[in-house]
Amino acid sequence: MPLVLPTAEAVYVPQCGAGGGRSVVVLGSTGSVGSQAIDVIAAHPERFRAVALAAGGANPALLARQALQTGARMVAVTNPSAVREFTDAFTALAWAEGTSRRPLPVVLPGAEGLSAAAGWPCDVVLNALPGAAGLPATLTALKAGSLVALANKESLVAGGELIRRVAGPGQIVPVDCGHSAIMQCLPGWAYACPVPGVQRLILTCSGGPFRTHTRAQLAAVTPAQTLAHPRWRMGPLVTVNSATLVNKGLELIEAQTLFGLGYDRLSVVIHPQSVVHSMAEYTDGSALAQAAPPDMRLPIAAALAWPQRPPPGVVASLDWTRAHTWAFEPVDEDRFPALALACHAGRLGGTAPAAFNAANEEAVTAFLTGAIPFTAITDAIEQTLNHHTPVPDHDLTPDAVQAADAWARQHTRNHLLGLPAPIRGLAPNPARPAKEA
């Protein structure tokens, strides 16, 4: 059963514009997606208003500016030692801007604060946290009954089956531009899959900065080169994932969880211009594509506004008076093995996607610190997947996902440090059910 359903069947359709616009909680508000969401909300007060924000605490001044700008009633700061900096920055800014009568929002620290923000009463929770750590927040927001605008694809990858059990019909709206494009290419904004007549979903992919590199050249790229994405400004994890194509691999698993068409009917095609954001191919020979400038504010606004169209002017339209060339080319899976690995993990199901994701996050951290070469990232994922015995979907619990995540991280670290891999029977895989351990 796919997670996304036709508008007519979806029960989670907030009243657009009622009571001063949709109330929105932004998790990860100071990040790339989160900041752009704040821009969209601030530009369209008739449609949206931010009621709570959450961030880790690395940028308290920006968080304070956002809280002041949006008038959010609650702010969660996961790092407790950043709370004081946040409140000082808020007070100083309010004073400097002559808005000192605006009350300090309720500030909640730690993981409890983040959980409170995810469950805060609102119409829509935008989850723009990075990594598998975003899963508990997704589950909390779903259980609280909010519509979830999901940028945190790792939630769906690591915990797709857990999310499926708690998500109501149509309660999740994707923010990833590819999945947002697909939902716009299905009939009448209705994201019913399998839609009769849809034979394939095609995710486009910029190919990243190393699209034309040989395997030897890939082995020599530096973290700085990798973080300079040609089209998108994103957080470090997703930028590296874009360069390895792990990001597209995660998106394949995400597409399967959201639309349920089957891995054999999902494809990826390289499109360096990043204007066509994805396509739905129909059995009649047509492919419907969504095209727009590469700007995350559009899919963010589309998710916040669903099932209505986003407000006018979120991004400037394409200039059709100019000549354009759009290229499409197949992925070279020898140089970029991440897609095949992701499909393998997705087909294995259960805890395998969580292990895939955790291995990648560990390997990316090692790459960014200069400890391993670029090509070792996907090698490490493959190595970890090969040693993982997944807990099957029907036995999946939050603890099993967490254990698989922890096991895969440890396994990947051991592998990268050249330490012995945990061996079945000697160092049991905690993701395996107890009777097998």
Ligand X SMILES: NC(=O)c1ccc[n+]([C@@H]2O[C@H](COP(=O)([O-])OP(=O)(O)OC[C@H]3O[C@@H](n4cnc5c(N)ncnc54)[C@H](OP(=O)(O)O)[C@@H]3O)[C@@H](O)[C@H]2O)c1
Contact residues for ligand X, defined by CB under 6 A: 28-34, 54-59, 78, 114, 128-130, 133, 151-154, 176, 232, 234-235, 238, 296
Contact 174, 258 (CB under 8 A): yes
C-beta atoms surrounding 165 within 10 Å? 11
Contact 208, 243 (CB under 8 A): yes
Residue nearer to ligand X on the CB measure, 125 or 192 = 125
Residue 347 burial class via C-beta count within 10 angstroms: exposed 0-12, middle 13-18, buried 19 and up: middle
Residue nearer to ligand X on the CB measure, 195 or 238 = 238
Instruction: Give the CB-nearest residue to ligand X.
Output: 31
Query: Whole-number minimum distance, CB 261 to ligand X, in Å?
Result: 21
Query: Whole-number minimum distance, CB 344 to ligand X, in Å?
Result: 20
Residue nearer to ligand X on the CB measure, 114 or 148 = 114
CA torsion sign for 195, 161, 109, 86 is negative
Residue nearer to ligand X on the CB measure, 176 or 195 = 176
Query: Whole-number minimum distance, CB 35 to ligand X, in Å?
Result: 8
C-beta atoms surrounding 207 within 10 Å? 25
CA distance 173 to 191: 10
CA distance 235 to 223: 13
CA distance 283 to 129: 37
Query: Whole-number minimum distance, CB 203 to ligand X, in Å?
Result: 12
Query: Whole-number minimum distance, CB 137 to ligand X, in Å?
Result: 8
CA torsion sign for 170, 175, 178, 184 is positive
Residue nearer to ligand X on the CB measure, 153 or 432 = 153
Query: Whole-number minimum distance, CB 148 to ligand X, in Å?
Result: 13
CA distance 248 to 232: 14
The answer to whether the bond into 14 is cis (omega within 30° of 0) is no
CA distance 310 to 423: 52
Residue nearer to ligand X on the CB measure, 21 or 178 = 178
Query: Whole-number minimum distance, CB 151 to ligand X, in Å?
Result: 4
Residue nearer to ligand X on the CB measure, 80 or 262 = 80
Contact 24, 124 (CB under 8 A): yes
Query: Whole-number minimum distance, CB 94 to ligand X, in Å?
Result: 20
- The enclosing H or E element of 66 equals helix 60-70
CA distance 36 to 149: 14
Residue nearer to ligand X on the CB measure, 304 or 391 = 304
Q: Phi and psi at residue 281, in whole multiples of 5°?
A: -100, 130
